Amino acid sequence: MAEDNYSTTTEFILIGFSDHPGLKVPLFLIFFAIYLITMVGNLGLVALIYMERHLHTPMYIFLGNLALMDAFCSCAVTPKTLENLFSEDRRISLYECMAQFYFLCLAETTDCYLLSAMAYDRYVAICSPLQYHTIMSKQLCIQMTIGAYIFGNLHPLLEVGLLFRLTFCGPNIINHFFCDLLPLHALSCADPYINELMLFILAGANLILTIAIVLISYFYILFTIFKMKSKGGRGKALSTCASHFFSVSIFYGSLFFVYTRPNSISEVDKDIPIAIFYTLIIPLLNPFIYSLRNKEVINVIKRLMKKRKWCNGLKQVSP
């Protein structure tokens, strides 16, 4: 008889930042600006790499796919967040919730494998420069990129599939600005132990594997850099690696803290500032960290700008 009194919940309410009504306008303007800059920066970088044939190298292919996934991540979260800031009805259906998590998890997991591929690429370029073109062949580059997307898809597919074993019959308020697994686990009427265990295993395995590749690659990179006799070459290599490693550390650190720490399901509301970092801030910063500090990309941009000015000058001169 108790089961008959249950009503299955098929909709949730994302309260997000509704506890701070005075901050709605500033938050909307800030998030909207971040969204525009993120989309322009990342999609512009993808277009630049696609159009410039001499940028069709492993490093820039990985970078282009990373930029694409960053834009994908921003699209999965920001539009709904902006809508909810001024909407009285912050409802989202269970299937929309699953779809939002799927696309976000796809982008984040694929990012992990692309970052590890980029670290390995830099390891080969710095530690074995004479064998770089032999080791980092076009075939290997394609295989690594496809592998990143395959593993990026497997994780969210398994997690979303496991959500179907849960039932939601109680409160439907999610104290977050997007649909994440942990808030859904907290609202489940069924025991989410298996879901939590699989999340811990899958997220931990993806993070540990990719972090290990990044750390080992950068260990050998730093070892090689400190053996360099040229101070100029050493400083240039350290500057590039430091900025890359800083971005990687923030990204992995925030994901590791949210998804693999004990008692994470009871501290969901405390994860919002950290979630802002890996869903909004990191996609915003990556184009600047990985491209605007890269002389080759800057030279391409300058050349395109000069070409555009020259074309505009011809138009003005011509009758």
Instruction: Tell me the helices (H) and strands (E) count for the chain, helix number first.
Output: 11, 3
pLDDT greater than 50 at residue 2: no
Using one digit for the tens of pLDDT, what is the confidence trace for 190-205? Answer: 889 999 899 889 988 9
Phi, psi of 57 (to 5 degrees): -115, 165
Query: Lowest-pLDDT range, 174-183, 214-223, 257-266?
Result: 257-266
The confidence score (pLDDT) of residue 53 equals 83
pLDDT greater than 50 at residue 1: no
Using one digit for the tens of pLDDT, what is the confidence trace for 18-34? Answer: 667 778 889 999 999 99
pLDDT band at residue 239 using 50, 70 and 90 as cut-offs: low
Mean confidence (pLDDT) of the chain: 83
pLDDT band at residue 236 using 50, 70 and 90 as cut-offs: low
The model carries a pTM of 0.87
Using one digit for the tens of pLDDT, what is the confidence trace for 120-164? Answer: 998 998 888 889 999 999 899 999 999 999 999 999 999 999 999
Q: How far is CA 312 from CA 44, 52, 301, 303, 315, in A?
A: 21, 21, 16, 14, 5
The confidence score (pLDDT) of residue 106 equals 95
Please indicate whether residue 261 or residue 248 has the higher confidence score (pLDDT): 248
pLDDT greater than 70 at residue 305: yes
Spatial contact of 180 and 101, defined as CB atoms under 8 Å apart: yes
pLDDT greater than 70 at residue 35: yes
Spatial contact of 31 and 82, defined as CB atoms under 8 Å apart: yes
| Domain ranges across the chain | 11-262+271-303
The confidence score (pLDDT) of residue 213 equals 93
11-262+271-303 CATH choice from 4.10.95.10, 1.20.1070.10, 1.10.10.10, 3.40.720.10: 1.20.1070.10
Sequence-ordered alpha helix ranges (H) in 56-137? 58-86, 94-127, 132-135
